[in-house]
Structure 1
Amino acid sequence: MASAVKLNDLTEGWNKWQVGLVVGVGALGIAGLWYYMRRKGEVKVDKLDIVDSNQNANNKASAKPKSLQEQAQESKKEGNVFFKNGEYTSAISCYTQAIKLCPQEHSGDIATFYQNRAAAFEQLGEKNSVLEDLNMAISLNKRYPKALARRARAHEIAENYAMALEDITACCLLEGFQNQQSLVVADRVLKLLGKSKAREAYSSRTPSLPSQFFMKNYFAGFCHDPIFKTSSAGKAEPLAKSEEGETTEETVVNGEAEGTTNEESPFEQAQHLVNQHQYGQLIELCTKELELTDTPHRHKALLMRGTMYILYGQGEEAMKDLSFLLEMDGVEKKVRVNALIKMGSLVMQADNAQEALVCFSTAEMEDNKNSDVFHHRGQQLLLVERLEDAIKDFDMSISLSPDFATSYVQRAYAEHRSAVTQQSAMSLMKADASFKQALEKFPNCSDIYLLYGQAQCDQGEFTRAEELFTKAESLEPDNANILVHRGLLCLQTSKDPNKALKIIRRAVEVDPLCEYAHEIIGTIEVQRTNMTAAEYHFNKAIELSKSEAEMAHLFSLLHASQIQTRVAQKLGIEVPSFGP
């Protein structure tokens, strides 16, 4: 889904850290790895080190012959010296001798020798030997963070991301989440696993349209769309009058717009369907139009089909149409600009911010009086936390389209985010004034109440936030995201997951296609250790995803929850929950 033209990217929710705090878990990085924080010192951590020779060594002179265990420790110490000097083959020989000498009852020591030998094999690039030794070390000591971390790295190199995540998760649990390096590795592996799963699933998904509410919100994000014209309230504009001076009727019979004639081209039929809010046949009709050898609608048919591909979550197909359109001569300015905006959004979605901003800059050069350019670039900049630049673009959008409410509310929210980042009380007051001014100008705009409510939550003004969310719901009862926010707020204030889930499940009733609602329900169910329900909702959210990036994030949540539960059970660590 093209994020720059999707208000839901902002109104869908608190960032993952905020949700983590509300739900009662820690969010590990932007991938959204849901873990809980163990109390410092609660779990005993193995202190063995590759080059630390202090463990179990007897440094006092003794007249007695050295035991086999002591001889093994001496061999390990020699190996550590060789290791430090980069003489890995000699180090391996010493560690091997230590393994042979050490009595079997000293399994902890033997695990250390295997782990150290694996480290030496790692330096020599002996991947199979690394894994064999680490498997032995962990079989002897399953609570061995250093060995688990090294095996996680080996699995990651081999692109066995699920196994890598299981090992690094165990490592994090045993370290009480106090080792920053392990947390970084866990975040990286989780994202790699999510991406690999999403790549496979996305290529085989069945494209489908989002909900009617989402479609309305999408189109309402443009003031100057040459195909999907909307008013400031997000309502489709009436059809143009026919040559006889009468407006074409707006009913659909058997999937076709009534009032059309056999002489109308496929694209003209598609235009009628757009005004009927009937979108299912648009790609087919545009394809038929583009197959005609001589059509005056080629440019707009490409733009319409590209837009519909975006909404179906078919980003590659959308890019083909938009790129082809932009290479053509004689394209109307408004059509080119709209295509550049949508292309920029798709490119940004693929994590290529620099190329995306080039698209927006090109659009600005094409028409610096088109407010859509500044609004959508501002929204993109807001999403990547370039807040001052976002505010400037929203200001320009407002100056060009003073009746476009969405730019006002997102400008106020950008001000709020900037104030929070700066920790400036004066800036927070300024942002609050901007929200109030927006409400005075647009008292019936639900998005203002929703984002203002989020801002109030950030400041701990929960009673005021609930009032704003309630007002937003009264204005737009079909907006499922509002109910998700109310549920999260309820959880934050009441700590009652059952009460919160009751509200959020209403969101699914209002809009069964609300991916965000399923994601949050899944997250809460993880913390209630209700894994069957959690997996159902994560999988449902994955099914509804419109982009590979969204799908990767959701796969990350799904696998993180599954693996954390499995590892905690294996290690005998109880995961705290919200209760029944």
Structure 2
Amino acid sequence: MASARSTTAAVEETAAKTAQSVSNASSTFIDRASRWYADNKVLAWTVAGVTVVAVGGSIYYLSKPPRVSDLDKKSKKERRKGKKDNVKAAEEARQADTPAPAPAPGVNAPKASAEPEAVVEEELPQVTEETVAHLSEQEKKDYSAKLKAAGNKAYGSKDYNKAIDLYGQAILCKADPVYYSNRAACWNAMSNWDKVIEDTTAAINLDPEYVKALNRRANAYEQQDRYSEALLDYTASCILDQFRSDSSAQAVERLLKKVAESKAKSIMEGKEKKLPSPTFVSNYLQSFRARPLPEGLEESADLSEDSGKWFLRKGLLAIQQRTAEGYAEAAQCFDSAVEKNELESHEAYAYNMRGTFRYLKGENDAALEDLNKSIELDPALVQSYVKRASMHLEQSKRDEAANDFEQAMTHNASDPDIFYHRAQLHFILSEFSAAASDYQKSIDLDSKFIFSHIQLGVTQYKMGSIASSMATFRRCIKNFGDKSDVYNYYGELLLDQQKYQEAVEKFETAVEMERKSVGEKGGMNVLPLINKALALFQWKQDYSAAEELCQKALIIDPECDIAVATMAQLLLQQGKVTEALKYFERAAELSRTEGEVVNALSYAEATRTQLEVQEKYPQLASKLQGMGAPAMPGAVR
């Protein structure tokens, strides 16, 4: 259960210090949870929600020209009724096939099955609303079968208007869900989405478990950009079909992403630009080696109050608090420092720090301008290149990031920060050998920076060198035994190996060290608390203890997106769907980038869809139970 989650968790936290929100450590817990849940084969529709995050690839569904193949069958109820007359039932079963739904433009359709047998030409009855009232029940049954078969033939010849008329007459004789679905297929071929929805809705009202009709209506909803309604139908279809249909599962995946992307754009447009949680900010700032205050900005230096240099120093001192208040004060001070100017040789550094905090607030364009200005003022300030590389990497501009590292090297090839952050680039690209080499180079240049050692151990683990990785962490404990980070990340690797008790002990040590060093009410890194919560859940299924630990983390750091998303997952697994939805939506609010918002909203939309499915199709809960899933979909077996 722990395998993928723990390894990536250790990686993510260290990588968060490079502020590459989605692709590395600063990504929300959604990324970690998605891989963890994928490993554990989560049942129900939430699988698709997870896949949206994990896969994110192109989906091909219903995209070739319509064919008469892909045949609908009579409903099970109808087939059972047909057994009363073996001869007629056999004939009806042979002719009960209906055309596949016409495809969405520009997408691939599944391969067709065998073509239906030719219908023997005979004189067809003409049925109207007036004449049908005079027919016997047997005549209605016979007429409807003949009209339906003729409709199939017309559809096969792409004479859709004729087929629509024939299916309509068949419906007058018998309100059969298959007939409505067949007529919907004709409307589908003609791209008349309103009529498709009308007829498939009629079919579903007659047979709520009619999978083909649900899929046809979902496709029509999607063509009209009614993504939430399409998602609901595809989700119900997946559950009814017991997740055997890849195309339906992929459709859920596709729709979750579309719904999330649509809402994410709106959220980002109105999103307030503010600093993320103190945990996030601390991890990012700590990814650069601590340096003393620059010469001329020492605490003993006599600086003119309210000058640019005075504000710059004040901001640098505020950072050391490691609290939300301290970081907010630092951001204001760096703004004031640049505005006041009078910075002399520290102007480039002031732009560097203002750009750093603008980046953390999500003001990417303004942050990039500041970093460019910093480089222009002092090309030798390599930290500005490294931070700009982090921004480029977050935006998937890998070539630009690599170029930033090259430029930094030309100015100071012995700066260990360059090698540490370039190693992060290699790690994200799964170039583990190159990453290990750069982490080692960073250590050679400065062996006192703890995160180079930690990340080297994680990289060795990813390369499959478990023994080397464990040895690296044991050396870390020996050399950095007073740092909570060592115990936290070592615990994650132990958890990945399902060494639960040892992992919990390491997390507990990390928690206690954090409390002693900063106090429980300010500046504490809450990740060890969250990791302990997950360990107790995986080990003992102790939901109560896990929730309590997450709540403690949220009291200390209310805006920690990882704690919020972890709580959402724990609630979801217990079937507390409504509560889980609130936390998923909160996670979306806390996300920094559009990619993170999409990830969080994918879970929120999947959760919301679960509630809607339960309300609209209450019988599906029992079907999930029959598949071996809990009554409340979304839980882990």
Q: TM-score, normalised by structure 2?
A: 0.72
Displacement of 1:563: 0.8
Of 61, 69, 73, the residue aligned with 2:144 is 69
Alignment-mate amino acid for residue 275 of structure 1: L
Q: Is the 8 A contact 1:23 1:492 kept in 2?
A: no
Q: Is the 8 A contact 1:412 1:431 kept in 2?
A: yes
Displacement of 1:293: 8.3
Q: Which residue of 2 aligns with 1:16?
A: 34
Distance 1:565 1:360, change over 3 A: farther
Q: Is the 8 A contact 1:177 1:183 kept in 2?
A: yes
CA-to-aligned-CA distance 1:235-255 (integer Å, 9 cap, x gap): xx357567xxx8439xxxxxx
Q: Which residue of 2 aligns with 1:546?
A: 592
Distance 1:387 1:92, change over 3 A: farther
Displacement of 1:561: 0.4
Of 110, 124, 127, the residue aligned with 2:179 is 110
Of 309, 314, 339, the residue aligned with 2:358 is 309
Q: Is the 8 A contact 2:371 2:388 kept in 1?
A: yes
Distance in 1 of aligned mates of 2:279 and 2:407: 31
CA-to-aligned-CA distance 1:145-168 (integer Å, 9 cap, x gap): 333334434444443332232222
Q: Is the 8 A contact 1:92 1:121 kept in 2?
A: no
Alignment-mate amino acid for residue 177 of structure 2: G
Of 434, 442, 451, the residue aligned with 1:389 is 434
Alignment-mate amino acid for residue 531 of structure 1: V
Distance 1:184 1:340, change over 3 A: farther
Which deviates more from structure 2 when the two are superposed, residues 508-517 or residues 290-299?
A: 290-299
Q: Which residue of 2 aligns with 1:378?
A: 423
Distance in 2 of aligned mates of 1:348 and 1:155: 37
Aligned length: 522
Distance in 1 of aligned mates of 2:288 and 2:564: 28
Which deviates more from structure 2 when the two are superposed, residues 438-447 or residues 97-106?
A: 97-106
What SS class does the counterpart of residue 190 from structure 2 fall into? Answer: helix
Q: In the alignment, is residue 275 of structure 1 matched against residue 339 of structure 2?
A: no
Displacement of 1:137: 4.1
CA-to-aligned-CA distance 1:284-318 (integer Å, 9 cap, x gap): 55445545688634433322211111222323332
Distance 1:318 1:93, change over 3 A: farther
Q: Which residue of 2 aligns with 1:517?
A: 563
Q: Which residue of 1 aligns with 2:71?
A: 52
Displacement of 1:406: 0.4
Q: Is the 8 A contact 2:167 2:183 kept in 1?
A: no
Distance 1:364 1:144, change over 3 A: farther
What SS class does the counterpart of residue 276 from structure 2 fall into? Answer: coil
Distance 1:202 1:103, change over 3 A: same
Distance 1:473 1:53, change over 3 A: closer
- Structure 2 stretches lacking a partner, 5+ long: 1-12, 55-66, 75-91, 96-116, 123-137, 320-325, 516-523, 622-629
Q: Is the 8 A contact 1:22 1:492 kept in 2?
A: no
Q: Is the 8 A contact 1:4 1:379 kept in 2?
A: no
Distance in 1 of aligned mates of 2:406 and 2:207: 58
Displacement of 1:176: 1.6
Q: Is the 8 A contact 2:234 2:252 kept in 1?
A: yes
Q: Which residue of 2 aligns with 1:321?
A: 370
Displacement of 1:274: 1.4
Of 380, 388, 399, the residue aligned with 1:333 is 380
CA-to-aligned-CA distance 1:132-185 (integer Å, 9 cap, x gap): 444444444433333333443444444333223222222222222222222222
Distance 1:462 1:292, change over 3 A: closer
Distance in 2 of aligned mates of 1:276 and 1:54: 70
Q: In the alignment, is residue 145 of structure 1 matched against residue 211 of structure 2?
A: yes
Of 142, 145, 165, the residue aligned with 2:231 is 165
Alignment-mate amino acid for residue 471 of structure 1: T
Which deviates more from structure 2 when the two are superposed, residues 208-217 or residues 177-186?
A: 208-217
What SS class does the counterpart of residue 67 from structure 1 fall into? Answer: helix
Q: Is the 8 A contact 1:360 1:373 kept in 2?
A: yes
Of 272, 288, 292, the residue aligned with 1:206 is 272
Q: Which residue of 2 aligns with 1:256?
A: none
Q: TM-score, normalised by structure 1?
A: 0.79
Q: Which residue of 2 aligns with 1:121?
A: 190
Q: Is the 8 A contact 2:26 2:280 kept in 1?
A: no
Alignment-mate amino acid for residue 35 of structure 2: W
Distance in 1 of aligned mates of 2:32 and 2:275: 25
Q: Which residue of 1 aligns with 2:18?
A: 5
Alignment-mate amino acid for residue 397 of structure 1: S
CA-to-aligned-CA distance 1:44-96 (integer Å, 9 cap, x gap): xxxx98542765445699999881221133124314522xxxx4xx1453244
Displacement of 1:118: 3.8
Q: Is the 8 A contact 2:420 2:442 kept in 1?
A: yes
Q: Which residue of 2 aligns with 1:265?
A: 307
Which deviates more from structure 2 when the two are superposed, residues 379-388 or residues 564-573?
A: 379-388
CA RMSD after TM alignment = 3.6
Q: Which residue of 2 aligns with 1:474?
A: 512
What SS class does the counterpart of residue 546 from structure 1 fall into? Answer: coil
Alignment-mate amino acid for residue 185 of structure 2: N
Q: Is the 8 A contact 1:387 1:418 kept in 2?
A: yes
Distance in 1 of aligned mates of 2:415 and 2:390: 16
Q: Which residue of 1 aligns with 2:550?
A: 504
Q: Is the 8 A contact 1:456 1:465 kept in 2?
A: yes
Q: Which residue of 1 aligns with 2:500?
A: 462
Q: Which residue of 2 aligns with 1:484?
A: 530
Alignment-mate amino acid for residue 439 of structure 1: I
Of 563, 566, 576, the residue aligned with 2:631 is 576
Q: Which residue of 1 aligns with 2:109?
A: none
Q: In the alignment, is residue 566 of structure 1 matched against residue 622 of structure 2?
A: no
Alignment-mate amino acid for residue 184 of structure 1: Q
Which deviates more from structure 2 when the two are superposed, residues 549-558 or residues 351-360?
A: 351-360
CA-to-aligned-CA distance 1:104-149 (integer Å, 9 cap, x gap): 6442222331342244224xxx444444444444444433333333
Q: Is the 8 A contact 1:72 1:97 kept in 2?
A: yes
Displacement of 1:553: 1.4
Distance in 2 of aligned mates of 1:543 and 1:31: 19
Q: Is the 8 A contact 2:307 2:340 kept in 1?
A: no
Distance in 2 of aligned mates of 1:10 and 1:545: 9
Distance in 1 of aligned mates of 2:607 and 2:416: 43
Distance in 1 of aligned mates of 2:211 and 2:398: 37
Distance in 2 of aligned mates of 1:129 and 1:11: 42
Q: Which residue of 2 aligns with 1:179?
A: 245
What SS class does the counterpart of residue 26 from structure 2 fall into? Answer: helix
